[in-house]
Amino acid sequence: MLRDLMRRPEALIGGAILMLLILIAVLAPVLAPGDPLAIAGRPLIPPLTDAAHPLGTDRLGRDLLAGLIHGARTSVTVGLAAALVAIGVGMVVGTAAGFAGGFADEALMRVVDAFQIVPGFLLALAFVSVSGPSLGVVILAIALGAWTGPARLARARVLSLRETEFVAAARVLGMHPAEIAFRQIMPLALPPVLTLTAVIVAGAVLTESALSFLGLGDPNVVTWGGMIAEGRNQLRSAAWLSIIPGIALVLTVVSTYLFGEALTDTLTGRRQA
């Protein structure tokens, strides 16, 4: 599968950008030591005019490159954590609904429908507004709007697996239904659900940036959305304050979608073969 994936140019481009982003996020304390929110120089230094601040500074004198690096760390953390929570919750709910069937299936699917009615961003916006802005709350808020897709996909996969011979054999051996569902069936239902990871991560990065742009992000961390919002008042005189983090955000989302589409096509092609 890895060889098939690496033959796709979109996988190579998207994967290279994502690996670079993850590397920057991991090495952020080394690449930009200190507090990225601290004043580092005089305000509004243009990019490429000061060796100490290659990307310039904002209106308060904070280093833009340091903010960009630590913003990458925030985006990677939110994207991966939200995807992990969403897929975890979706797998548990989808597996329970598909294996139990009957009233339990109907009840759980109505809960899924209720969450799907509300757009994910509005749900996150309301949750963060009520609970208060913090990184953990933002991650949970994004996951609340993203777990329904994995739940539906997991349920569909479990419905096809619960009638197989190995499940019947497990029942004959006297295994508990919960053990059959979560130890025997759920691992087999996981691979198709993992194809949604890229979409969830990209959506989480965009949602976190939008919340930060509206002032609902964690005020104690640097975010690309917050940097874009900070620079919107200087668009005429210092457009780079919003353009640079905006480019980083676009590259991250596009590369995630490219890699995700290549991974989905590869998995689909191998299953059909």
pLDDT digits (tens, 9 = 90+) for 164-189: 888 889 888 889 989 999 999 999 99
Predicted confidence band of residue 270 (pLDDT cuts 50, 70, 90):
low
Predicted confidence band of residue 273 (pLDDT cuts 50, 70, 90):
very low
**Cα–Cα dist 169/152, whole Å:** 26
**What's the pLDDT at 174?**
87
**Cα–Cα dist 78/211, whole Å:** 12
Residue whose structure tokens are 């960009």: 68
**What's the pLDDT at 180?**
92
Q: Which residues contact 272 (CB under 8 A, 6 or more apart)?
A: none
Give the total number of structural domains in the chain: 1
CATH number, domain with residue 100: 1.10.3720.10
Structure token pair of residue 232: 């919107």
Structure token pair of residue 48: 């490429």
For residue range 121-140, list pLDDT tens digits in order: 999 999 999 998 899 999 99
Structure token pair of residue 140: 């949970």
Task: Report which of 90, 89, 79, 119 is spatially closest to residue 200, judged by C-alpha positions.
Answer: 79
pLDDT above 60 (res 156)? yes
Long-range CB pairs of 50-57 (<8 Å, 24+ gap) are 55/240, 55/244, 56/238, 56/240, 56/241
Q: Are 150 and 203 in contact (CB under 8 A)?
A: no
Domain that holds residue 7: 2-272
pLDDT above 60 (res 272)? no
For residue range 200-243, list pLDDT tens digits in order: 999 999 999 999 999 999 889 999 999 999 998 888 889 999 99
- Statement: the pTM of the whole predicted model exceeds 0.75: yes
**What's the pLDDT at 234?**
87
Task: Return the percentage of the chain with pLDDT > 70, whole number.
Answer: 97
Structure token pair of residue 147: 């777990």
